[in-house]
Amino acid sequence: MRVSALVLLSALAAVSSVSGYNILCMFPIPSRSHSLLAKGIVNVLLEAGHQVTWVTPFPEKSSHKNLKQIEVSTTRDLVACKLLTLKLK
């Protein structure tokens, strides 16, 4: 009886201490390669049960319940404009 109570208390303590984290992923660089890397990282974090806030210029159409996306697509236009006006010495 005493051993089973100890096992039950240990199991309850283990379950109550397990929780997901709130994670902020910032990949504001408007590059498809950076976006693919970020997507892989975000998907792994979501599968692990974490709450993820993702800052991205390429938001995903399908959304996970633990995913909040912050769209910064204006950076794509800004960087493209700066690259076109870049002057090399």
pLDDT in tens, 51-89: 999 998 888 887 899 999 998 888 777 666 666 565 666
pTM value is 0.65
pLDDT of residue 75: 75
- What's the gap between Cα 2 and its chain centre? 44
Distance CA 12, CA 51 (A): 23
Mean pLDDT of the chain: 80
Give the count of domains, the chain: 1
Distance CA 14, CA 31 (A): 42
pLDDT of residue 40: 93
* Boundaries of domain holding 44: 20-84
- What's the gap between Cα 42 and its chain centre? 4
Tell whether 31 is covered by a domain: yes
Are 25 and 54 in contact by the 8 Å Cβ rule? The answer is: yes
Tell whether 35 is covered by a domain: yes
pLDDT surpasses 70 at 45: yes
